[in-house]
Amino acid sequence: MLLDEFHHAEGNIVRISALQASRFAKEIADDFNPIHNPDAQRFCVPGDLLFSLVLAKYGISPKMSFIFKGMVGDNDPLDFSPTDAPAFDISNGADKVYLRVEREGEVLKNPALAEILSRNYVAFSGHNYPYTIQPLLTSQNVMLNPERPLVIYERMLFELATLDL
């Protein structure tokens, strides 16, 4: 499966090493944001990897929203306890919430569809900054500090007309 080499699971607890996260960002998402480099001072696991893990472990609903609440660091524990709730958190199992997931409609647990959706979304997401946001900033005479670029997305959502392949 696509995600097997990019995380380690023990029961409901998932851990993602900095190297696994960085490889996912570069090899799967084509995302070269320096914050995903394993040796980055402010390293964080890409949201695209969390998104993909949620689809793989919880399934897909026609309408889903992903609200990023915190930055996941190297090998931080992530509690992926089973739930059928329409809204749930991915946390460290204690006091730190990293991701809020909200969904509406039926839940389809289809690994093939989850992988297709993940691959297509992360391909778009990885190119979003260099090909969409950066030109928009340039057109407005705004730029990020090239020595310390930091772009963090607060949320992403999708609404699908059908869950059919």
**What is the three-class DSSP state of 67?**
strand
Q: Per residue in 84-142, pLDDT tens?
A: 999 999 999 888 999 999 999 999 999 999 999 999 888 877 666 667 777 877 888 87
Domains for the chain: give ranges and CATH numbers. Answer: 4-153 (3.10.129)
Is 87:102 a contact under the CB 8 Å cutoff?
Answer: yes
Q: Cβ distance 158 to 63 under 8 Å?
A: yes
pLDDT tens digit sequence for 23-46: 999 999 887 778 888 998 889 999
pTM above 0.85, yes or no: yes
Burial class (CB in 10 A: 0-12, 13-18, 19+), 74: middle
